[in-house]
Amino acid sequence: MLDPVELSLFASRVDSICGEMGVQLAQAAFSPNIRDRLDFSCALFDADGGLCAQAAHIPVHLGSMAYAMADIVAGLEWAPGDMVMLNDPFLGGTHLPDVTVVAPLFAGDALVAFVANRAHHADIGGEAPGSMPLSRSLMEEGILIPPGHIVRGGALNRARLAEITAATRNPRDAEGDFAAQISANRRGLERLAALVESLGVEAWSQAVSQLNDYGARLARSALAAIPEGRFEFEDCMDDDGLGHADIPIRVAIERHGEDLRVDFTGTAPQVQGNINCPLSVTAAGVFYALRCLMPPQTPACAGTFSPIHLSVPEGSLLNALRPAAVAAGNVETSTRVVDVVLGALAHALPDRIPAASHGSMNNVAMGYGGKHPWGYYETLGGGMGAGRNGGGLSAVQTHMTNTRNTPIEVLESRYPLRVRRYALRRCSGGQGARPGGDGLIRSYEFLAPAHVTLLTERRRHAPWGLDGGGDGAPGINRLNDEILPGKVSREVQPGDVLTIETPGGGAFGTVASGK
């Protein structure tokens, strides 16, 4: 049994392994999306697939892995030196560009843990460069990688890797990024093996169990601040890109005793467009929103999420069935899950919950499939929602994404693009006693023909304010002088300029009251 100081040290040690895996992945990766934007996540799991630790990476990656890893590891046979690769959204993934690599740790003949990382590949094939098309089914979005061994007994399955990379528009970058993911797992295994050896297998298992108990206690203590009762909220997605608009997402949060039930009954059925979510992505949004109520020292482990129970109708937008298109569900719908959960909690904890943030990852995917193919993808920040104690930050990634922007120097040196403008979108935050943060403006000039896809939200429905605070300004997409829909694909020519103005955050409180 670890004393409190020893338990804290153990938690820090497993967290640091995840952090070191992330450094290894970023330094070894080829593509700007992973190397510069840091669009990846690393985590540790116990022998049953229960979350033990994670780095402060991408919430939508980490929450979905925490929810689904037990099913992934139970469905496969594991041996020392193995690594499994997958991206199937309906078997523990999120969307096809997010590729997960999982490796087991053995101590003798005993399976004791897993290391895993998930990285967003800027191109994984599919109908459009950047692998974020306006799709109608999963098969249009890229190559599907069911859970299978990419490394077996320490030997790389080169034929399988070649098959996967050949489906992309830049096999060299893809191969380099996959090698970086494998390298990150090897680093994690090395560090975790040293920790397990220093403790002993039995003491390791006891420490993980104790960490889970501690996480559950902290979570229940934090969730006890929510009054007993039922708290409801409704928001909507702008559209699915295929003509279906104002798609509702409804939630009811109920606390009875120590546990919390989050019920999405009344949410729209799954749609034709690609804003559908696999259940693991919905779980990630819920876990993230509720984790924000917990103290900073709360460990990222399975026990922390054990008091939270989900009810999501099968076949709905938030629990879609194969072969639903899901490319934007991971990036756009997940943000609205956070909005509705926070909106419901605002009824229960009005002093603690902020107004809506910009509510979109503002996805820009582009590239060319001709003689010199290329593919690029990035997300853009916007305005953060204000809270009772302060205004929102401007031009930042919020909630389910935690990536950086791509430096202009990298973007212009790697692709036929010129960034014409990158600036704050002044006065786009909601007005109130605590103003919302401003969005940003980013303009790209194309130096060669390209195909562009935008998957954006909050272009029709503004991020809401709270307690009388004003809404943030909706976003605007432009190609030259033409206003574009929130979700659109276009062919562009040299000299064309694409401008994205991202939404501002909602304000908190009225100016007159000063609340």
For the chain, the 3-state helix, strand and coil shares in percent, each to the nearest 5, are: 30, 25, 45
CA dihedral 244→338→299→278, nearest 10 degrees, is -10
**Containing structural domain, residue 168:** 4-217
pLDDT digits (tens, 9 = 90+) for 57-71: 777 776 777 777 888
Residue 292 lies in a domain: no
Question: Regarding beta strands 417-425 and 259-263, do their DSSP bridges make them parallel or antiparallel, or are they unpaired?
Answer: unpaired
For the record, the structure tokens of 78 come out as: 């594991």
Does 442 reside within a domain?
Answer: yes
Coil, helix or strand for 41?
strand
Residue type, 401: T
294, part of any domain: no
Coil, helix or strand for 472?
A: coil
d(CA 224, CA 296): 16
Tell me if residue 300 falls in helix, strand or coil. Answer: coil
Q: Which of 162, 187, 217 is the last residue of a domain?
A: 217
| DSSP one-letter code for 330 | I
Q: Indicate the number of domains in the chain.
A: 2
Domain end residue (candidates: 217, 241, 275): 217
Q: Which of 193, 217, 241 is the last residue of a domain?
A: 217
Instruction: Spell out the per-residue pLDDT of the chain, length 515, in tens.
Output: 899 999 999 999 999 999 999 999 999 999 999 999 999 999 999 999 999 999 877 777 767 777 778 888 888 999 999 999 999 999 888 999 999 999 999 999 999 999 999 999 989 999 898 899 999 999 999 999 999 999 999 999 999 999 999 999 989 999 999 999 999 999 999 999 999 999 999 999 999 999 999 999 999 999 999 999 999 999 999 999 999 999 999 999 999 888 999 999 999 999 999 999 999 999 999 999 999 999 999 998 999 999 999 999 999 999 999 999 999 999 999 999 999 999 999 999 999 999 999 999 999 999 997 778 888 999 999 999 999 999 999 999 999 988 888 999 999 999 999 999 999 999 999 999 999 999 999 999 999 999 999 999 999 999 999 999 999 999 999 999 999 999 999 999 999 999 999 999 999 999 765 55
345 belongs to a structural domain = no
Does residue 251 belong to any structural domain of this protein? no
Separation of CA 9 from chain center: 28
pLDDT given for residue 181 in this prediction:
98
Flag whether 340 is in a domain. no
In a domain, 414, yes or no: yes
User: What was the pLDDT predicted at 512?
Assistant: 65
pLDDT score for 514 = 55
Cβ atoms of 425 and 399 within 8 Å: the answer is no
Q: How far apart are CA 237 and CA 228, in angstroms?
A: 29
Q: What is the value of pTM for the model shown?
A: 0.95
Residue type at position 216: A
* 127 falls within a domain: yes
Contact 507, 434 (CB under 8 A): yes
Answer whether 253's CB lies under 8 Å from 226's CB.
yes
Find residue 83's DSSP bridge partners: 151
Distances (CA, A) of 452 to 80, 97, 370, 487, 490: 43, 17, 14, 11, 5
Residue 492 · residue 421 · CB < 8 Å: no
Cα–chain-centroid distance for residue 475? Answer: 21
